Amino acid sequence: MDHFDAIVIGAGVIGCSVAFHLAQFGARRVLVLERGGIGTGTTSQSSGILRTHYTVPENVALARASWSAFENFQAYVGDDEASAGLVRCGYLIASPDGPKLGALRAGIDGQCRQGITVHELDAKQATELLPIARFDDAALIGYEPDAGFADPYLVASGFARSARRLGAEIVEGADVQMLLHTDGKVTGVETSHGRFTADTVVSAQNVWARDIERWTGIPTPVAAERHSVLALEGPQPYTNRMPVYKDLGCAGMLYYRSYGGAQMLVSEGVAGETLQAPDNEQGPIEMDYILDVGAQVAERFPVYETAGLASSWTGVYDVTPDWNPVLGRVADMHGLIVAYGFSGHGFKLSPAVGRVLAQEALGLATDVSLAPYSLERFRTGALLTGKYGVGAVS
């Protein structure tokens, strides 16, 4: 039987980040158990967008700290060969008069208060940045230059590689079948590879976090929700120099970015299809859905009216009732730390989340307070709902 300082369940971008930071803070024996391969869970399905535009101040703080890591990824993980695949193209967000305008105003003001550089643009300035889109209906346009997108798989595997270099063990193909606990204290895990003991277990299981409820009886309010992502090929390219764009004026709250330097990646920012069981297998994308999204795209990007579908995939969000994650210790199980419920916006937070959870696991002061992210909020009603209401923009 092997004993570890900390065991991490799941080697998605969150689990790998936790493991890297644990090792960096000096934890000597760290074990990561992953039933598939590194980054092959929902991380590999992500759109990879990075921005600090949030209306929840703690999310702004985590996203800002994470941006510094993405921007200097090689130095951050201490590996000259690492790459986050970062494209710093900026983030545009626009709203017409209507229900989302107040939230956008609040988000921009909040970012400014937290020291983030955000510019308010007029339609002409926005068109200069994204000439294939129209902004004639916009009542407010925010532009965040320090934003863009990165490659979630590269980031997860970069964290994993550096965690290993610092001494962490990452075992792929190892299914955790049970959390072991006695008298309300974690003692280890039972796995397809045998039993491992530790006083600290970090669950970074995403939609599969419901295992915790099965293993401990502690409620785990997370639903698996499937979303579709489309890559469109239009008559004019959506280049890497063009910013990510969030359209608060359309029914699907669509977000857009360049894909491969020429195609347009587009996906919805509203609720998806709830799955009965956690599963990130590919699901169907109906023609009616493609036509509906295509019509919204053509409304905003008239030149894309004749665009073709180049590729598509589905991905699964781990959604909590307020669309924000549960992070930190679980009150009724000493030694259990959780990170689930990223609700479609966890990649941009992953470096800082890994760092604060490692701090929490090692009894260090956390850079950002974890109190607002506690599981308790669903009992007390102190929800972390952002000004946009439910949805990944939060």
For position 229 contacting ligand FAD by CB under 6 A, the verdict is: yes
Residue among 166 and 357 whose Cβ is closer to ligand FAD = 357
Which region, judged by CB under 6 A, interacts with ligand FAD, from 77-85, 123-131, 135-143, 203-211?
203-211
Query: Which tokens belong to 145?
Result: 């230059």
Interface with ligand FAD in residues 33-52 (CB under 6 A): 33-36, 40-43, 45-49
Q: Are 373 and 58 in contact (CB under 8 A)?
A: yes
Instruction: Report if residue 268 touches ligand FAD, rule: CB under 6 A.
Output: no
On the 0-12 / 13-18 / 19+ scale of CB atoms within 10 A, 25 is middle
53 binds ligand FAD (CB under 6 A): no
Task: Report the nearest approach of ligand FAD to the CB of residue 313 (Å).
Answer: 8
As measured in angstroms, the least distance from the Cβ of 8 to ligand FAD is: 9
Residue with tokens 């993980």: 77
Q: How far is the CB of 315 from ligand FAD (least distance, A)?
A: 3
Question: Taking CB under 6 A as the rule, does residue 317 contact ligand FAD?
Answer: yes
* C-beta neighbour count of 287 within 10 angstroms: 10
Q: Is there binding between residue 12 and ligand FAD (CB under 6 A)?
A: yes
Piece of the chain touching ligand FAD by CB under 6 A; list 8-16, 165-173, 216-224, 287-295: 8-16
Tell me the number of residues near ligand FAD by CB under 6 A. 39
- Listed ranges 71-79, 86-94, 98-106, 199-207: which one lies at the site for ligand FAD (CB under 6 A): 199-207
Q: Shortest approach of ligand FAD to residue 292 CB, angstroms?
A: 17
Gap between the Cα atoms of 177 and 215, Å rounded? 9
Chain positions contacting ligand FAD, by CB under 6 A: 9-15, 33-36, 40-43, 45-49, 152, 175-176, 204-206, 208, 211, 227, 229, 315-317, 342, 344-348
